Every structure is written in structure tokens, then in C-alpha cells.
């Protein structure tokens, strides 16, 4: 198939290019076409200078200094930019943390015997969490312990006292905890106004943001950003971490395993089910039910060879990490999967799901099934998921997919013949196991300079950036500099598809990293999971800091979200910076209209937290800058 220059500019992924070309030839609309129709986009919005918080608005500030310099209420550019930014953090923290609430509630239900469809798959991890939380774990009934852990987790969401979250106290390194308290004290003294940094309640800090950004409340850029930081810490070391830890308890902690990635995992001869979104609670059951002889037999009766479940985005990452279920693609491939004509059913839960999928699926035989009470998609089929009837719900969905096989139009099926093998499943536990049980070998490699530092790459795809281009080029440039790359979300899927998660790829790394990878038989890019699993990176950083007796900002670590799209990415970036890790972003976030906000995020944050945001459009220059930051940290550590 001849690929046009336009399609080449849209994606570097060969499978996506093939389907994008097919879509262009058949005039099937995708996100790239819709974004094109949005051009030119609003310059005020891009700079963060538009406010519609009250009905006097929308107000906008003239960035050239000629027109209005204040909103009707008198809000300045910095107030408007800061309010908008922290509302983005609230949105991101809410999405991650609400995700965390679900496994916490489910664990409670299991512990109390109210749910028979799920069990505790990793009691060892449950004990480890309980131990961190200071609970007695000796000779304890596992369900009793589970109830105590779930109760503490749920309390962290809704507690009303002024103390810090139990999970933050249990997981954040001691030095960082003390630093956050000191930062709050110093900022309060400086501004003569109480400023909090340590989160009191996961939900409370998000509500606090919505309150203080309501008309006529908080107008101080620093005060607003500090609250954004507080909610983001409540996300990273609270809600996201609870999601990761308790999902591991219920579904099992990921172990290193081989898996396959890209649209080629769809099977021409099988019933294809794509599970998409973020929460693994239902998709775990779909995987389980689809593998039963009953369903396989039903598929054979329809003329298919079997049932093939594949993942998309972070629901996909969850079942990829725990079961090695093949992953069809990342965020910009959700429409492309349907356009292959080979998907009998796409089941979605929450987050990062295009509403456009409903209309698109109607042009094919695909059943587009929404399952969450929080997520309606007009034009979809809604099958309400309830945890206590999980098996029934999953069976209904798989049966619906199987029975749809006969409606597939073979002449419309085009599955790109592109797949890549990847080694996945790098939970902190799996990394430590590969290292022989302690972080020492990794620290030794860092100390010797074989590994110069570690960069965590996270986040989405964004059609403003050529799909996967930045993810892949940045990772390649970093490993060539002996920098180990770890990451999650859509980056991890891009890296898997590009072959960066194979041990053999170590040959493209610098000599030091190559040697370490070959000795440990690990790839130079490690898949650490889904979006909420950014918390795994925090836990790893905390373990390294505690082992060395330093704070996280002393370590040669950098973060990046090079094709970011969602508010969750802003929350992730903020909790990395708050934890002492500098974070690169591309595209530019909507803050440039506020000079003071920009200064706080890119300069003051460095002095306060030991890490700050920076923006860079070119992956090679971004890699250079990251190497510089790492070299500076190494020098300060005397390495
Ligand atoms: Fe305009 Fe102020 Fe209302 Fe925002 S809050 S829309 S700046 S009047
Ligand atoms: S799915 S948040 S587009 S990483 Fe987690 Fe991908 Fe970003 Fe969604």
C-alpha cells in the first residue's frame, strides 16, 4: 500500500499508517481530520488567558498588552492561568483517584464476604502493604487484614482531620515528607497566609481546588499552585498508589513476561474483543470468561477459531502487565482498531475513550459497549457493570461479541501485519527480583556510571505531535546516553510496538547500559504499567532514595510526558515535580500567558522541590537537557 506524505506526518507507526491510509482512501473520519477542522485554534486558550468561571465572562486578557489586562472582576492574567491550571490538576487527580477508590471498595467487599466473583490473588503483597501501614501482619486472617487495609485506604479518601494521608506517610521517603512540611511552613511565613502541601484527604484536596477556583475566592498564583501540588501529591502518593497497590492485591502483582503489541494482534480467524479505558476490574473478567471452553466452543459454532481478547490504552496495559494479554495499541489507535473491520466488540470503561467511537462503530459491524455508570456514550450499547455480578456481565459481553462474528464482512477486513514482541511486567517487585532482591545492583550501576540515570516517560498520544514519534525518538536518544528508561501509559505501548522493550535492543544502548541489560537480561526500556502505575515509579524512586539515605531530588532522575494530552498527565507531572523530579512536557501547556505562573513552575519549583517543569519541542534537545540534569545530580552526589 502506498502511504501518502500526509499520513506519514500523522504517525510513525507502520500499522497505524496502513489503517490511516485506508481511512483516507475511504473518507472515514478520524481524530486527525477533526483536529484539522479545529484550526486555527484559539490563541487565548493556548496561552491560558480565557476565563469563563462566572457569567460575567468569558473574559480574556490581551497578551500583547494593548487590550484588556484584567477580567471584569479584576482577575489578572496570572490568576486566570493559575486557576485554569489547577482545575486541570483537579480533573487529573480526580480521574486517577476515583479509579483508586474502586479497588479499595472491592477489597472491602471481598473481605466482608459480599463479593464471590473476586478473590485476593496476592496475599503476600497485601501483607507488605499492611506492614508499611504499621499493621500487625503476624498470624492474621487474610480477609481480616484486607478489611483493615481497605478501611485505611477508604479513610484516606474521605477523612476530615488535618493529618496527612496514611498512604503518603507509609510510602513517601522520610526526607521528602519532612521537606513538604518545611516547604508549607516557609511558604506560609513568606505569604503570611497558611499554605498546605501535605494532603489531608484525597477527595478533600480536589474539592478544595474547585472551591478556591470558584468565583471570588483564591486569586494568588502561588497559593493556587500550592493547592494544585497538594492535590497532585494526594493523587501520586495517594489515589494512584492505592489503585496500583490494591489492584495488585486483587488481581496479582505483575511479573516479567513476554507479550505482543500492535494492531496485528487482531486475528482474522477469531472473534476479536478490544477492552479499552483504564479500570481492569471488568476486563480481568472478560479475559477470564473468554478463555473458558464454553466461550471457545460457542465461537467455533459461529465459524471462528476462538475468542481473542486484546487491550487498548491503560485497561490494556493492566491486563498486559498481569496476564500478557496482547495490546492492540495506544490512544490514537482506538479508532484505527475499529477501521480494521475485524473487531466484533469494543468494551470500554472510563477515561481516554473518544465519543466518536460510537458513530464510527456503526459504520462497521462492531458492537461498541459502554459499561460504567460514570460514562455514557450516545450511540453505544450500554451494559451496566456491577462488581457483585461481574461474571454474568463479562459472560454477556463475550457472548455478544461471539454472536457478532457472523456479521463480520470479510471484504472489509484489513489487519496490518505488524506486531512486535515486548518484555513487560516491571512492577517494583519484579524489578527488585530481577536485581536479586534489593535495589543495590541498580544503585551500584548508577554509582559506577554504567547507568548514568533514569528517565520515566509517561503519558498519552496527541495528534498535534506525529503519533509515537516523540515517544520513540526520546527513548532511543536516552538509552544511547546510558540512561535507563522506565515508563507507563501510552508511552509504554509506543515503546513496546517499536521493539524498545526487547533485551536485544540493548545493542542500541550506550556501552554501560548495554552491559547491565545483558547481564540482567532486561530491555533498556521497562514497562511499568498503566497511568495510575506512575505510582510504581514513585515507589521505586523512594526505595532508591531511602537505600542511599538521600532525598529523591538528589537522585539522577528526570520525568517526561512528551505527547501529553489529558489532565491526568498534568497531575502526574506535578506530583513528580513535587517529589523532586524535573519534568519535561510537550506540547506546551496553557500557561504561557501568565509570566508569574510560568516562573513558579519552571524556576521557583526547582528551588523549593528540587525539580521543575521544562518544555522542549525537539526530542534530541530534550534528551540533551535530561542528560545535563542527570550529570548535575551525579556531580552533586559526588559520582
Ligand atoms: Fe471574567 Fe472574573 Fe468571571 Fe473569570 S471570574 S469570567 S475573569 S469576571
Ligand atoms: S491511556 S491518560 S492517553 S497515557 Fe492511560 Fe494514554 Fe494518556 Fe490516556
The 10s digit of each residue's pLDDT in 224-243 is: 999 999 999 999 999 999 99
**Gap between the Cα atoms of 275 and 345, Å rounded:** 9
- The Å distance, Cα 459 to ligand 2 centre, comes to 6
Instruction: Please check whether residue 2 lies inside any domain of the structure.
Output: no
**Residues flanking ligand 1, CB < 6 Å:** 51-54, 56-59, 71-73, 75, 80, 215
CA of residue 236 to ligand 2 center, whole Å: 15
Q: Note whether residue 217 is domain-resident.
A: yes
Question: What cell does 5 get?
Answer: 506524505
Question: 251, 282, 301 — which closes off a domain?
Answer: 251
- What pLDDT digit, counting tens, does each position of 17-37 carry? 999 999 999 999 999 999 999
- Ligand in closest contact with the CA of 91: 2
Are both 564 and 445 inside the same structural domain?
yes
pLDDT confidence band for 294 (50 / 70 / 90): very high
Mean pLDDT value across residues 385-401: 98
Residues 102 and 240 in one domain: yes
Ligand 2 cavity residues, CB under 6 Å: 278, 313-314, 330-331, 352, 459-460, 489-490, 530-531, 565-566, 568-569
Residues 527 and 617 reside in one and the same domain: yes
Name the residue of 276, 328, 459, 487 whose CB sits within 8 Å of the most ligand 2 atoms, as the mutation to test its pocket: 459
Give CA–CA dist 258/496, Å, rounded: 11
Alpha carbon nearest to ligand 1 atom 4, residue = 51
The rounded Å distance from CA 571 to ligand 2 centre is 12
Within this chain, do residues 496 and 393 fall inside the same structural domain, yes or no? Answer: no
Pocket test for ligand 1, best of 213, 214, 215 (most atoms within 8 A of CB): 215
For 425, phi and psi rounded to 5 degrees?
A: 95, 25
Q: What band does 314 get if pLDDT is binned at 50, 70 and 90?
A: very high
From residue 546, give the alpha-carbon distance in Å to each of 305, 322, 558, 577: 52, 28, 18, 18
Distance 206 CA to ligand 1 centre (A): 21
How many domains is the chain partitioned into structurally?
3
Domain boundary among 222, 251, 280: 251
Domain shared by 445 and 478, yes or no:
yes
What's the CATH number where 381 sits? 3.40.50.2030
Whether 240 and 307 share a structural domain? no
Decide: 452 and 481 in contact? Cβ < 8 Å: yes
Mutate to test the pocket of ligand 2, among 31, 99, 330, 490 (most ligand atoms within 8 A of CB): 490
Using CA positions, which residue lies closest to atom 8 of ligand 2? 352
> 201 CA to middle of ligand 2, Å?
25
Q: How far is the CA of 80 from the centre of ligand 1 (A)?
A: 8
Residues in the chain, overall count: 639
| For the CA of 58, the nearest atom of ligand 1 | 6
Q: What is the pLDDT of residue 634?
A: 98
| Nearest protein Cα to ligand 1, atom 3 | 54
Reported as a pLDDT band with limits 50, 70 and 90, residue 276 is: very high
Whether 324 and 433 share a structural domain:
no
Average pLDDT over residues 362-377: 98
Atom of ligand 2 nearest to the CA of 489: 4
**Residue 35 covered by a domain:** no
Ligand nearest, relative to CA of residue 568 = 2
> Containing domain of residue 178, as a range?
77-251
Q: Which ligand is nearest to the CA of 571?
A: 2
Closest ligand relative to 217 C-alpha: 1
| Residue of 275, 318, 330, 331 with the most ligand 2 atoms within 8 Å of its CB, for mutation | 331
> Which percentage of the chain shows pLDDT scores above 70?
100
Q: Which ligand is nearest to the CA of 573?
A: 2
| CA dist 35 → 30, 310, 469, 589, 618 (Å) | 9, 27, 18, 17, 22
Query: In this structure, are 484 and 335 located in the same domain?
Result: no
The CA distances from residue 300 to 208, 307, 310, 394, 489, in Å, are 55, 9, 19, 19, 34
Give the strands of the sheet with 613-615, arranged side by side: 525-527, 483-487, 453-457, 557-561, 582-585, 613-615
Nearest ligand, measured from the Cα of 493: 2
Same domain for 322 and 452, yes or no, is: no
DSSP annotation of 307 reads E
Tell me, yes or no, whether 618 and 484 share the same domain. Answer: yes
Please report the atom of ligand 2 found closest to the CA of residue 564.
Answer: 7
CA distance 471 to 460: 9
Predicted local distance difference test score (pLDDT) of residue 581: 98
Which ligand 2 atom lies nearest to the CA of residue 351? 8
Q: Whose CA is nearest to atom 6 of ligand 1?
A: 57
Q: Do 302 and 201 have their domain in common?
A: no
pLDDT at residue 321, rounded to an integer: 98
Note whether 167 and 202 are within 8 A (CB). no
Q: Ligand 2 centre and the CA of 26: distance in Å?
A: 28
State the distance from the centre of ligand 1 to the C-alpha of 58, rounded, in angstroms: 7
pTM of the model: 0.98
Are residues 380 and 490 located together in one domain of the fold?
no
Which protein residue's CA is at the shortest distance from atom 7 of ligand 1? Answer: 71
CA atoms within 13 A on the CB side of 65: 1
Average pLDDT over residues 122-126: 98
Return d(Cα 391, Cα 397) in angstroms, integer.
10
CATH number at residue 226: 1.20.1270.30
In a domain, 531, yes or no: yes
Say if residues 401 and 286 touch (Cβ distance below 8 Å). no
Q: Which of 219, 251, 283 is the last residue of a domain?
A: 251
Cα dist. 411→128, 166, 407, 520, 580 in Å?
Answer: 53, 57, 12, 47, 54
Q: How far is the CA of 56 from the centre of ligand 1 (A)?
A: 6
C-alpha gyration radius of the chain: 24
| Domain-embedded: residue 72 | no
Ligand 2 atom closest to 278 (CA): 5
Query: Closest Cα to residue 18, out of 262, 304, 352?
Result: 262
Q: How far is the CA of 178 from the centre of ligand 2 (A)?
A: 32
The pLDDT of residue 534 is 98
Taking the C-alpha atoms of residue 535 and residue 572, their distance in angstroms, rounded to an integer, is 9
Residues 6 or more apart whose Cβ sits within 8 Å of residue 57: 51, 71, 72
Whether 129 and 145 have beta carbons less than 8 Å apart is answered as no
Taking the CA of 218 as reference, the closest ligand is 1
572 alpha carbon to ligand 2 midpoint, in Å? 11
Q: Is residue 44 part of a domain?
A: no
* DSSP annotation string for 93-144: HHHHHHHHHHHHHHHHHHHTT--SS---S-HHHHHHHHHHTT---TT--HHH
Q: In a mutational test of the pocket of ligand 1, which residue from 67, 73, 80 has the highest number of ligand atoms less than 8 Å from its CB?
A: 73
Indicate whether 94 belongs to any domain: yes
Mind listing the pLDDT tens digit for each residue in 538-581?
Answer: 999 999 999 999 999 999 999 999 999 999 999 999 999 999 99
When pLDDT is cut at 50, 70 and 90, the band that residue 582 belongs to is very high
* Interval between CA 566 and ligand 2 midpoint (Å): 7
191 Rama sector, left if φ>0, alpha if ψ -120 to 50, beta otherwise: alpha
Q: How far apart are CA 170 and CA 531, in angstroms?
A: 21
Query: What spacing in Å lies between the alpha carbon of 112 and ligand 2's midpoint?
Result: 33
Q: What is the pLDDT of residues 168-206, one digit of tens each?
A: 999 999 999 999 999 999 999 998 999 999 999 999 999
Amino acid at each position: 500500500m502506498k502511504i501518502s506524505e500526509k499520513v506519514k506526518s500523522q504517525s510513525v507507526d507502520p500499522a497505524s499508517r496502513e489503517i490511516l491510509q485506508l481511512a483516507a482512501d475511504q473518507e472515514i473520519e478520524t481524530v486527525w481530520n477533526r483536529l484539522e477542522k479545529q484550526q486555527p485554534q484559539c490563541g487565548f486558550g493556548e496561552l491560558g488567558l480565557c476565563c469563563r468561571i462566572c457569567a460575567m465572562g468569558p473574559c480574556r486578557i490581551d497578551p500583547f498588552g494593548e487590550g484588556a489586562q484584567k477580567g471584569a472582576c479584576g482577575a489578572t492574567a496570572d490568576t486566570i492561568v493559575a486557576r485554569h491550571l489547577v482545575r486541570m490538576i483537579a480533573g487529573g487527580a480526580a480521574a486517577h483517584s476515583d479509579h483508586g477508590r474502586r479497588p479499595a471498595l472491592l477489597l472491602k467487599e471481598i473481605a466482608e464476604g459480599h463479593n464471590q466473583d473476586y478473590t485476593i490473588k496476592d496475599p503476600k503483597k497485601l501483607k507488605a502493604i499492611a506492614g508499611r501501614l504499621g499493621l500487625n501482619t503476624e498470624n492474621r486472617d487474610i480477609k481480616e487484614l484486607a478489611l483493615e487495609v481497605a478501611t485505611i485506604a477508604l479513610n484516606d479518601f474521605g477523612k476530615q482531620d488535618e493529618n496527612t494521608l496514611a498512604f503518603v506517610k507509609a510510602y513517601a521517603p522520610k526526607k521528602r515528607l519532612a521537606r513538604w512540611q518545611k516547604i508549607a511552613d516557609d511558604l506560609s511565613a513568606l505569604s503570611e497566609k497558611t499554605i498546605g502541601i501535605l494532603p489531608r484527604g484525597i477527595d478533600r484536596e480536589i474539592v478544595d481546588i474547585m472551591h478556591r477556583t470558584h468565583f471570588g475566592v483564591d486569586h494568588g498564583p502561588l497559593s493556587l499552585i500550592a493547592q494544585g501540588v497538594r492535590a497532585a501529591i494526594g493523587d501520586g502518593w495517594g489515589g494512584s498508589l492505592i489503585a496500583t497497590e490494591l489492584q495488585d492485591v486483587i488481581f496479582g502483582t505483575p511479573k516479567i513476561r513476554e507479550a505482543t503489541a500492535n494492531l496485528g494482534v487482531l486475528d482474522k480467524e477469531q472473534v476479536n474483543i478490544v477492552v479499552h479505558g483504564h479500570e481492569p476490574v471488568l476486563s480481568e473478567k472478560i479475559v477470564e470468561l473468554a478463555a473458558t471452553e464454553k466461550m471457545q466452543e460457542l465461537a467455533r459454532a459461529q465459524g471462528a477459531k476462538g475468542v481473542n481478547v486484546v487491550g487498548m490504552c491503560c485497561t490494556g496495559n493492566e491486563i498486559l502487565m498481569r496476564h500478557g494479554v496482547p495490546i492492540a495499541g495506544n490512544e490514537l489507535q482506538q479508532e484505527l482498531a475499529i477501521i480494521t473491520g475485524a473487531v466484533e466488540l469494543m468494551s470500554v470503561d472510563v477515561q481516554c475513550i473518544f465519543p466518536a467511537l460510537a458513530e464510527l462503530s456503526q459504520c462497521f459491524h462492531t458492537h461498541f459497549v459502554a459499561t460504567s455508570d460514570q460514562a455514557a456514550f450516545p450511540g453505544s450499547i450500554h451494559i451496566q457493570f456491577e462488581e457483585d455480578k461481574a461474571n454474568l456481565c463479562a459472560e454477556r459481553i463475550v457472548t455478544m461479541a461471539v454472536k457478532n462474528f457472523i456479521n463480520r464482512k470479510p471484504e472489509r477486513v484489513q489487519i496490518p501485519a505488524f506486531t512486535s514482541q515486548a518484555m513487560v511486567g516491571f512492577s517494583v517487585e519484579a524489578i527488585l527480583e530481577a536485581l536479586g532482591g534489593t535495589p543495590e545492583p541498580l544503585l551500584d550501576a548508577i554509582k559506577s556510571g554504567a547507568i548514568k540515570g533514569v528517565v520515566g516517560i509517561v503519558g498519552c498520544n496527541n495528534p498535534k505531535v506525529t503519533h509515537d514519534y516523540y515517544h520513540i525518538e526520546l527513548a532511543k536518544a536516552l538509552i544511547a546516553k546510558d540512561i535507563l528508561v522506565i515508563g507507563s501509559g501510552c508511552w509504554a505501548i509506543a515503546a513496546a510496538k517499536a521493539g524498545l522493550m526487547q533485551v536485544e535492543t540493548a545493542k542500541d544502548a550506550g556501552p554501560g547500559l548495554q552491559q547491565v541489560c545483558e547481564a540482567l537480561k532486561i530491555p533498556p526500556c521497562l514497562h511499568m504499567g498503566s497511568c495510575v502505575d506512575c505510582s510504581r515509579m514513585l515507589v521505586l524512586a523512594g526505595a532508591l532514595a531511602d537505600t542511599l539515605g538521600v532525598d529523591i531530588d538528589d537522585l539522577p532522575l528526570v520525568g517526561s510526558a512528551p505527547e501529553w494530552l489529558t489532565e491526568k498527565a498534568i497531575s502526574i507531572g506535578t506530583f513528580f515535580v513535587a517529589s523532586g523530579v524535573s519534568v519535561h512536557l510537550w506540547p506546551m501547556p496553557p500557561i504561557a500567558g501568565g509570566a508569574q505562573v510560568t516562573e513558579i513552575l519552571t524556576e521557583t519549583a526547582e528551588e523549593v522541590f528540587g525539580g521543575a517543569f521544562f518544555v522542549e519541542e525537539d526530542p534530541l534537545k530534550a534528551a540533551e537537557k535530561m542528560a545535563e540534569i542527570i550529570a548535575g545530580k551525579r556531580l552533586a552526589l559526588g559520582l
